[in-house]
Structures are given as structure tokens and as C-alpha cells.
Amino acid sequence: MSIKLRVVGILYNNIVTLPGGSGTVKQVLDAARAQTGPGLYFGYMASATNPAQPGAISVTAIAARYTKPVKSVTSGKIYPAGLYYLAESSAGNSQLSIWQYYIFDSQGRVIGPNDSYPSDPTNPGGGKITFFNAATAIVPDGGSLVWRLVAIPTQPRAVPDVILNRMGLDQPAD
């Protein structure tokens, strides 16, 4: 009846208990917020951020507060106690940073669109299953939910000739 929740970049790596074992992504985050306690505090914000989808709510910021030093599971480095926070942004017009999550089963295998992502009845043509929708991805009992903030360029970028050469793309186009 537990799910591992990890948020890359803010050092959060904790076990969350849900009454029914498995749960939606939102239920896992809500449980993590409710189960914070001495030494470790977790919070998140969600809002409508896409004008093209006015009813679609998604995570916009995640934070964790540690009252003791915390060890990175990736590097093993010890970080001081404090507040660690990441938020979506549109850094100028050149890139966006957005939250992305992955769901894993109890054996550490990624669960993909054909496994636990039911079709969204409010969007029969497909597309993103929204965070607060009742028909959302399920994190299985014993599984993991991993969040990371990713940067996405909003337009193509020119590539220096030296990089094109190293990539083998310096040949003229057909």
C-alpha cells in the first residue's frame, strides 16, 4: 500500500502511503503533502496554464523543505537543510520549462500509454490526459512516480559548423 515519489532537482525521494494502494497522480501528490512531517515537508501548486485548454489543470511548482541535511540519490552528495523549489517558466521567448512525470510498476518498468493510461472521455481524439481529470494515469501499489522539470526550446536553433561537422551533418542537402 505504498508508492515511491521522487522529484528530480529538489532531492525529494519518499514513500507515500495510500489507503487503497494504487492511486491517481493527483492522489499521490496530495498524500505526500498530507504525510509531511518532522524533517521533511512537501508541497505543490497546480493551475490552468494553457490558454488553448482553459479547463486543463496541471502542476506548475513543486517544493520540499528539509530540516536536516539531505543526500542526493543520484550523486550521493549531501545538501544542506533548506527549501528546494522548482517551477515552470517561460524563460524569455526561447524556451519553456514544464513538469513531466513517469510512472513505474513495482518492478521498475515504465508504464506507458497502453498500460495504465485510460482513454480520456472528454477528449476522444486523444492528447494529454489532464492532471485533475478523473480518467487519469494510475500509479500502482508498489510502483513509483517520478517528476522532472524539462526545458523545451520554442523554436529551432542555429547549429555551429563545428557541431554539424561532428554530427556528420555538414554535407549539402539533396
Q: Domain residue spans in the chain?
A: 2-167
| 15 HSE (CA, 13 A, CB side) | 7
pLDDT tens per residue, range 117-162: 444 444 444 444 445 444 567 888 999 999 999 888 888 878 888 8
DSSP state letters, 50-93: -TTSTT-EEEEEEEEEESS-EE-TTT--EE-SEEEEEE-EEETT
Cell digits for 157? 536553433
For 111, residues 6+ apart whose C-beta sits below 8 A from its C-beta are 103, 104, 105, 117, 137, 140, 143
**What is the domain class of 2-167 according to CATH?**
mainly beta
Q: How does pLDDT run along the chain (174 residues), one tens digit per residue?
A: 799 999 999 999 999 999 888 888 889 999 999 998 777 899 999 887 666 666 677 888 999 999 999 999 889 999 999 999 999 887 666 788 888 888 888 998 887 654 444 444 444 444 444 454 445 678 889 999 999 998 888 888 788 888 888 888 776 665
pLDDT tens per residue, range 130-140: 454 445 678 88
- Prediction pTM value: 0.78
3-state SS class at 31: helix
Instruction: Give the pLDDT confidence score for residue 36 in this predicted structure.
Output: 83
Instruction: Give the pLDDT confidence score for residue 89 in this predicted structure.
Output: 85
